[in-house]
Amino acid sequence: MRAVICSSCGGKRFESRRIEYLYRYMGAYLLVPNTPVEVCLDCGLAYYDAAVLKAIERRFFAIQNKTELPDRYITMPEMAYA
């Protein structure tokens, strides 16, 4: 097993977590709860497995092309920064 070093701070302490990931592409969004991620405990940088990101991307485009349905739709308030 190789040692993992954070590319941002050089830290070696990581923690596996599950987060809400927001995928966006050309003004369209997909919120993906329970997304696995490794987080550097020294600086907080998140590392995603490439297979996880590819699966999210595939589902996003399947939903956009209406070949797959999302679990649900949500509404989100919007407010411009003054």
**CA 19/CA 33 separation, integer angstroms:** 6
Residue 82 belongs to some domain of the structure: no
Tokens 């399947």 identify what position?
62
The tens-digit pLDDT sequence of the chain (82 residues) is: 456 799 999 999 999 999 999 999 999 999 999 999 999 999 999 999 999 999 999 999 999 999 999 999 999 899 999 8
HSE of 60 in the Cβ direction (CA atoms, 13 Å)?
A: 18
**CA 29/CA 75 separation, integer angstroms:** 11
Residue 35 belongs to some domain of the structure: yes
Residue 57 belongs to some domain of the structure: yes
Residue 70 belongs to some domain of the structure: no
Residue 45 belongs to some domain of the structure: yes
Residue 24 belongs to some domain of the structure: yes
CB neighbour class for 75 (10 Å; exposed up to 12, middle 13-18, buried from 19): exposed
pLDDT tens column, 38-54: 999 999 999 999 999 99
Residue 39 belongs to some domain of the structure: yes
* Predicted local confidence at residue 67, as pLDDT: 98
* Predicted local confidence at residue 1, as pLDDT: 41
* Predicted local confidence at residue 2, as pLDDT: 53
**CA 12/CA 47 separation, integer angstroms:** 13
Our count of domains for the chain comes to 1
Residue 24, domain extent: 14-64
